[in-house]
Chain A
Amino acid sequence: MVEVRVDPEICAASGMCKLLVPAVFDQSEEDGTVRLTDPAPPAELEAKVRTAALRCPAGAIAVHEMETDAS
């Protein structure tokens, strides 16, 4: 499991994250900055989310490993 965090303050509003993973990222109607729609995305989207973080021109996306109970 990963936890995604975004920082709209430093976001450059490029929209790359929304283009790459529309299920997780959205853009504010008001100023185009990043909005997170799913802070704990399903496992199959993890790779895409990491790519989005890597591609973010402003470094506004962080992906953290989340501690989970062993199941």
Chain B
Amino acid sequence: MPEETQHQFDHARRAGFGPSDDIRQQRAQGALVKEEVAPAPGAAPEPIWMALGYEAVRQVMGDHVRFSNQRRFRAQAVRGGSKHRPQEMSGHLMDYDQPEHTRLRKMLTPEFTVRRIQRLKPVTEQIAERCLDAMERNGQPADLVDLYASPISGAVLCELLGVPRDDRREFLVKHQWQLEQDRSRKDRAAAQAYTSGYLRALVKRQRKDPDEGFIGQLIRDHGDNFDDEELLGICGLMVLAGLDNVTGMISLGVLALLEHPDQLAILLADPEKNVDRVVDELLRFLSVAHAPTPRTAVEDVVVAGQLVKAGEEIVCSIPMANRDPALGPDVDRFDVERDPLPHIAFGHGIHHCIGAALGRMELRTAYLALWRRFPDLRLAVPAADVPHKTNSIAYGLERLPVAW
């Protein structure tokens, strides 16, 4: 495995639904541990901190003054002179600090309020029903990732971005190609050129003739304050954040419920009443977003009793933080009946996921519709044969064969 990949996904190792034994052993060393990692093959190792405790992660993510999100800052501070000089991407909120972050985020937040998201609910319900119809037509066993989780997240995202029906299939397929590590570099580059070209044309079209959707609304309200590169970055971030995380949560959530029949029974006893706490506990238990943008200390800061020096980088492990024993008893148990444990599955601080309300609505809708249609849903293969993703930006399943 190339060293860079190794570094990038070090914090993303999993065992079943939870963090890997490696990460757990690191946690046993402390809430903040230091690793020496070469930023590029052949380069001198540099210290990378891993924040693994709930409070340590909250401190780092909650302190946007002393911990910077900017890639450029990190490149200058840590790797000055190196050829590896990542740039923040225009419009990518997670790469920005104040006040740029606030300027962009304030324009976006009205589109993601709980009230606005409610308007997408009927559409999301229709999408789920259409997927279930297709599953029934195709017969069993069926792959729930391919026929349900992925099409729901894809269609809702396209609805939000204003990608017309006829274009959706190709747009989503090409997006997937970019991420498939076993596809050739050339194919991945071509797929990436297609999706970024598509989004560029979409932004141009909306600029000329803004519609009722999210991008059109942004242009109508704040058109003069955004340049096209920023709008493109915002679309790109929504694709990045809105597809694989949601697909992963839907499919892993279904598997977790099938694997915990007592918990599923609680959901089914009164679905409308219990679904929100089921969703909340699944968000904590599964923590599909492994880590936020790495932070760089702007000055010397003490975290969990350790001195983090100015310029050093910290990666925060969300799955480990959400299973910190300090949060309560039996944190490794999926238990929808307990007093809800606090968690940071959507992050913490000013970069808290802007689409959190949308994500919760999608999950709620997906779980409810699935069990309404197939109350006897079951795995079509032994649970041990369900392939989990081992090296991806968002945790999820490769396939989930089910029958009903």
The answer to whether B356 touches A16 (Cβ under 8 A) is yes
Q: Measured between alpha carbons, how far is A60 from B357 in the docked complex, in Å?
A: 18
Interface bits B84-128 vs A (CB < 8 Å: 1, else 0): 000000000000000000000110011011110000000000000
B105 to chain A, nearest CB (A): 7
The answer to whether A29 touches B109 (Cβ under 8 A) is no
The answer to whether A12 touches B350 (Cβ under 8 A) is yes
Say yes or no: is B347 at the interface (Cβ < 8 Å to chain A): yes
Say yes or no: is A31 at the interface (Cβ < 8 Å to chain B): yes
Given known contacts A15-B357, A58-B350, is B115 in contact with A29 (CB within 8 Å)?
A: yes
Interface bits A42-58 vs B (CB < 8 Å: 1, else 0): 00000000010011011
Chain B, interface residues (CB within 8 Å), range: 20 to 34
Interface bits B356-369 vs A (CB < 8 Å: 1, else 0): 11001000000000
Instruction: Report the count of interface residues on A (CB-CB < 8 A).
Output: 20
Interface bits A26-50 vs B (CB < 8 Å: 1, else 0): 0111111100000000000000000
Say yes or no: is B352 at the interface (Cβ < 8 Å to chain A): yes
Given known contacts A13-B354, A16-B356, A27-B115, is B110 in contact with A59 (CB within 8 Å)?
A: no
Q: Measured between alpha carbons, how far is A14 from B352 in the docked complex, in Å?
A: 7
* Of the residues A19, A54, A59, contact of B114 by C-beta under 8 Å: A19
The answer to whether A30 touches B360 (Cβ under 8 A) is no
Q: Measured between alpha carbons, how far is A29 from B114 in the docked complex, in Å?
A: 10
Chain A residues with Cβ below 8 Å from B356 are 14-16
The answer to whether B110 touches A32 (Cβ under 8 A) is yes
Q: Measured between alpha carbons, how far is A12 from B64 in the docked complex, in Å?
A: 12
- Among B112, B114, B347, B353, the most chain A Cβ lie within 10 Å of the Cβ of B114
The answer to whether A13 touches B115 (Cβ under 8 A) is no
Chain B residues with Cβ below 8 Å from A28 are 110, 113
Q: Measured between alpha carbons, how far is A55 from B110 in the docked complex, in Å?
A: 21
A45 to chain B, nearest CB (A): 16
Say yes or no: is A5 at the interface (Cβ < 8 Å to chain B): no
Interface bits A3-25 vs B (CB < 8 Å: 1, else 0): 00000000011111011000000
Say yes or no: is B47 at the interface (Cβ < 8 Å to chain A): no
The answer to whether A13 touches B342 (Cβ under 8 A) is no
Given known contacts A13-B112, A32-B110, is B340 in contact with A57 (CB within 8 Å)?
A: no
The answer to whether A57 touches B109 (Cβ under 8 A) is no
Chain A residues with Cβ below 8 Å from B352 are 12, 14, 57-58
The answer to whether A12 touches B349 (Cβ under 8 A) is yes
Measured CB to CB, the nearest residue on chain A to B357 is: A15
- Can you sample 27 A-B contacts with CB below 8 Å? A13-B106, A13-B109, A13-B112, A13-B113, A13-B354, A14-B352, A14-B353, A14-B357, A15-B114, A15-B356, A15-B357, A19-B360, A27-B114, A28-B110, A28-B113, A29-B115, A30-B110, A31-B106, A31-B109, A32-B110, A32-B112, A32-B113, A55-B342, A57-B347, A57-B348, A57-B352, A59-B62
B-side residues, CB < 8 A to A, are 62, 105-106, 109-110, 112-115, 340, 342, 344, 346-354, 356-357, 360
Closest 6 A/B residue pairs (Cβ)? A32-B109, A57-B352, A13-B109, A15-B114, A27-B113, A32-B113
